[in-house]
Structure 1
Amino acid sequence: MTGEVVTRTPAAHRGLRFTVVVIGLVAALVVTCIASITNGQYALSPADLLGVLLKGVGIDTVWAPTSAADYGVIYNLRLPRLVLGILVGAALAVSGVLMQAIFGNPLADAGVVGVSSGAALGAAASITLGLASFGMWTTPAFAFLGGLAAVLAVYFISRSGGRTEVVTLLLTGIAINAIAGAGMAFLTFLGTTSTREQIVFWQLGSLNGALWSNAALVAPLVAVGVVVALIVSSRLDLFALGERTARHLGVNVEALRMVVIVTVAVLVCAAVAFAGIIGFAGLVVPHLMRMLIGPAHLPLVISSALGGALLIALADLVARTAVPLADLPIGMITSLVGGPFFLWLLVRTRRRSGGWA
């Protein structure tokens, strides 16, 4: 009997890597979720968590805790915070995939087109002008509108003759970021000590005070953004071959760029409206996933969404438990991870290109 040697094709290898990565990310996310809900100032056991969750669907078990505080901590505090963090992480990571695809640069991030700075300016205006007193939705609404206005301004200012050059788009984004930064400084100067503290804390990013109503508003926006990213993923693969090649293959480059930029605005604005500015999630996660599974955008969007959710869930766990009786800003934690990674990525890119371009 002659043995047969089965040789896997490169596509099969990529498919296997994708499957392994997704299974690993899902397993890590489940473990992180359990750890996040059970750890904190009010300690719970995994059995308590299981009992509370089963009780919530009408199943009484021997694990069901007798204390009403256990139910309150899980359902009213930790679970909505965790769900919002997962949504925010997925939104930021998928937005990073889209930005890196449309600019053809692994160093691209949503911040380059003014989304984050515009959202920060909108939130600061709401806080400084006292509009936040009109309701809990005022500041998130202003943040969303500010980010959306900024990215639309960047896009339409950079268009000329029905086309948008990437370099012009980037330079316009830098100008809008500078204007938004100046506006932030002016509003901070005008504000009181209390409003300045609120602005600074919002800029650092936090999930503290998350509610089910926040997650319910963010979830459909993130879902729409991720679905759009999945739909355009095949065209992004063609776009990666170059704009001219993509046009020859039937891709409407301008329409694709517009759809991607608006989708990025929706994803990022939905995320920062309730969580504040959380840096580097959209940069680090897509690049790591690309290194693990390759450049194809459909698996990249799926794995990045899971990776972003895992990153923010882990960062929030550290934020709540690293310092007793304190809640650290998530943006600070992600920056501690993302800053060195970004420097490494810069050095790696320079070495590959043989020096700075």
Structure 2
Amino acid sequence: MDSVLARVSEATGVPADLLGGFLSVLAASAATGRLPGRADMDGLRECGALAAERGIPLRVLADACLHAAEITAGGTFGAVRRGMAAYIEGYEEAQRAALRQEEEARRMFVDDLLQGRADAERAEHFGLRLAGAYVVTVARPDTPVAAGDPLAGRIEQALVARFGSHNILVAVRDGLLVCVSPGALTAASGEFTHRVRSALTDWRVGVGRPHQGPGGIVTSYREAVNAIDLGERLGLRAQVLKAADLLVFPVLLRDREAIVDLVSTVLGPLTSARGGPEPLLETLEAVFASQGNHTAAARRLGVSTRAITYRLERIRRLTGFSPSDPTQRFTLETAVLGARLLEWPAHPLV
């Protein structure tokens, strides 16, 4: 048997310690006419897993098995078939285990990356060079994406096919699809959004600003998530929201006392209107979104142009502010935005 092991190992390059059990199975089958038992199969599965861990191609392992059967007198085909099946089962299980370990390592890396704990060496392993500036784009579907969803892999493969394999990462975190791409690669965010649009029905995308280094990735990620949150709080219709376009809102929120005072002073009188302030707030939002065009605003709200005119006059009488006056328009629009940020009038101003 040792001479056969040596010949097969020399011919195929498969180490002899991985083939001894297979030759014993062939010899026992030839002597008894029986197929290999459970213990033999378990041993061959372990050898298959070892072959995978050592990086021996499955094709080479299969060739070694067939070569051993070819030069072993009396080997039965049934034993060869079952023995090879056991090798392959062990081999494939080792590969699946390696994939699971890689997926877990990737998940942990993404968590660390988006919390500022990733190091350059691990980042290089996943294709990122942390010295550059990066943009984070986040997609929030109506139904959260499950961890391990193949959609993230498909989108990443599509981006890599277009832009190359370096410095692009797509992953799932907290039910969101997250794309990290170089700040200089401005088309990557658009391509990511295109792929999200093709794969999902209800979604919204937030795009952070480019920032430098590991801490910059965390900042860009938070900006992207906050852009989506702001869009929902403000009732914005756009599906793609860029943090750079929404910089005024964090400024407003930093001085809560000032924005509460503005909303209370400018819009507070609307609470005395019949039907409450909400219809009048919606009218102001529609007029501002339509750049002052009353016809377009009426179309947005599904009312007549005359109703828009009447409501604006009612607002002017109650508050003393008119959107037709350039100076007052800015004050009114800022107050309306502040009201949405504070979720007024649903929540009291405190």
Using structure 1 for the length normalisation, give the TM-score.
0.22
Which is helix-richer, 1 or 2?
A: 1
Which is strand-richer, 1 or 2?
A: 2
Using structure 2 for the length normalisation, give the TM-score.
0.22
More contact order relative to length (CA 8 Å, sep ≥ 6):
1
